[in-house]
Amino acid sequence: MFRKKLQPLLLVFGLVTSLLFLAACGAGGDTPANSSGEPKWYISFSGGTNSSSINNIMIYGLDGTAKGKALNESSLPAGVTLREVRGFTFGPDANLYVVNAYKDYSQVLQFKGQLDANGQYDFSKVFVQHSAGLNPGLDHPLSAVFSSDGNLYLSSQDTDVVSRYYGPKSTTFEPAQPMKLPSALLGVGNFYPGTFVPSSTQMQNGLKAVQDAAFGPDGNLYVADRDDNSIKKYDGQTATYLGKIVSDKLIQPAHLLFSPAGDYLYIGSSGRDAVPRYNLKTGQTEDFITPKSGGLSSPSGLAFGPDKYLYVASRLTNQILRYDAATGKPDQKPFIDGLKDNPEFLILVNN
């Protein structure tokens, strides 16, 4: 995640819903996911080829018990391999969309939203993928988020752009095709097909090192720019640059999470091992989780639980930690400890 060239709070109430907020961890065996109706934690990992690498989404119960793999690997066709799974989200069609980040793949895979008999999600198709000729902007993707109108936005670390694609329910244009440039980019340069936010090498106020992207309650797109130590804001329709959030508390920001009430933006400040929050009403930034509190090291995925806790993936300690959602005080012990791989994205799903 922190290599520029190699690297939502999503709360889903039922498989027939789309996402509410965008906001990642766990070891586990090959046992199928628990198909009961209780909420579960879904976590992605760094992945790779080491013996400890987890190239799947793992499921955990509300008590932190491992439930197995979410994605049915046996349903993958020849030529499709899970590698460095990153962001994932349920789409407006209730299917599960998974970022396959390994740079030689650079894909978003669609899995059926209904669990199979073993409590896993079966592969459906490759929804969108990198193409040197047709889709070069999608290169080593990280995060995925659907807009309110059902289109898909992806951040890519090797091109430092946010691209958008027609969503799965599009009737005016073919789903998964790069969308036309927004009005802010028309006539001002040459951009990759589907570009919504360009890189800083293509346009002033573009992105230096893109990380997570999330739509705010105001309908605008907020993007973590790691190397600029800022969160940049763009009009959700036109992509017009609206300024940026800067603070001495934002060092190498990575993951983003809006509070359920829409009054705060929580930011994983990986360079400080902290989680500051930005008040959308006052414009002030304060530390919510102070540096290294509870053993936090390189925060990644963020999500609110059903128990008045904020859950944070501590990437470099292979843990999921939790903090009082009102005070930021850490729980006495890790929620999940001893993970075999670095946790990345984290969401809570109700099956």
- The model's pLDDT over 34-63, given as tens digits with 9 standing for 90+, comes to 445 789 999 999 999 999 999 999 999 999
% of the chain at pLDDT higher than 70: 89
Q: What is the pLDDT of residue 28?
A: 31
CB count within 10 Å of CB 248 equals: 9
Model confidence pTM above 0.85: yes
Q: What is the pLDDT of residue 329?
A: 98
Amino acid at 10: L
Give the angle 200-242-268 at the CA atoms, nearest 5°: 70
Q: Choose among 84, 224, 85: nearest CA to 160.
A: 224
Q: What is the pLDDT of residue 37?
A: 76
CB count within 10 Å of CB 223 equals: 27
% of the chain at pLDDT higher than 90: 88
Beta strand 264-269 pairing with 253-258? antiparallel
Average pLDDT over residues 235-258: 98
Instruction: Return the structure tokens found at 159.
Output: 């091109």
- Which domains occur in the chain, in start order? 11-350 (2.130.10.10)
Give the residue with greater pLDDT, 29 vs 73.
73
Amino acid at 185: L
Q: Using an 8 Å Cβ cutoff, are 195 and 216 in contact? A: no
